[in-house]
Amino acid sequence: MNIPDYRKYILVFLITGAIFATALYVSNLINNKRVAELRSIENQIAINILSSETQYSLLAERSCKDLRENSALSSELNGLTERLSFTEKSLGTKNEEVITLKRYYSLLQIKDYLLMKRVSEKCGIEPITVLYFYSNKGDCPLCEKTGLVLDHLRSQYPQVRVYAFDYNLDVSAIRTLISLFRVENKLPALVFGDEMVVYGLSSTDDFEKALPVLKKLKAEKEKEELQAQSATTSIEKK
């Protein structure tokens, strides 16, 4: 009779279990490293904002040019957005770490938004700001599309400053922003400039209609590209 080797069944079970446990451990380890990196980036941005605020206080002694160039919302904050969004997808929207990081991130955005407002008043510049309120609780079918358009606009026109806020995130500063701009729960909601609240935009055309300055930026960009192209052609001819 062919008797099964039960010891082998148990041994293989243990090996399989060990492989599973190792995979879970490695996954967890990398996720923790990710969270640590996000925290470190956020801290760096916080320092940058603090530095900008200090510079602002010293404005009398510094030029507006310096302040604009040192603004915290630069590629750092954009990079953080991308990383945070990836981590949110990996760990899930209900993950405590993700929620804490998002809270901190939202506060950093608000601080940068306020700083930019003050700088623009002092220096006479008109930043193109968009406050974007979204929800990822499954009650906003258009939010994903709107997010894609905003990502695209941000990459095409670095002058456009997009501040994205989770409408349902429990942060009192976000609640204050919502009540300040009277943003209703009809998401996606966008605040252009300082007053205009628009709901349900989800295409580039919608944005170009709502924000005519985008057309101007587009024309400028095309002109720059044409100039660069003709410069390259003339170098090649020479």
Least distance to another protein from the beta carbon of 217, Å?
16
Nearer to another protein, 5 or 194 (CB): 5
Question: Least CB distance from residue 31 to another protein, whole Å?
Answer: 7
Residues near another protein, by CB under 8 A: 1-5, 8-9, 11-13, 15-16, 19-20, 23-24, 26-27, 30-31, 34, 37, 83, 86, 90, 144-145, 148-149, 152, 202-204
CB 152 → another protein: shortest distance, Å? 5
Name which of 99 and 142 has its Cβ closer to another protein. 142
Q: Which is nearer to another protein, 15 or 226 (CB)?
A: 15
Q: How far is the CB of 131 from another protein (least distance, A)?
A: 20
Nearer to another protein, 187 or 201 (CB): 201
Q: Which of 215, 123, 198 is nearest to 160 (CA)?
A: 215
For another protein, give the closer residue by CB, 4 or 138: 4
Min CB(30)–another protein separation in Å: 4
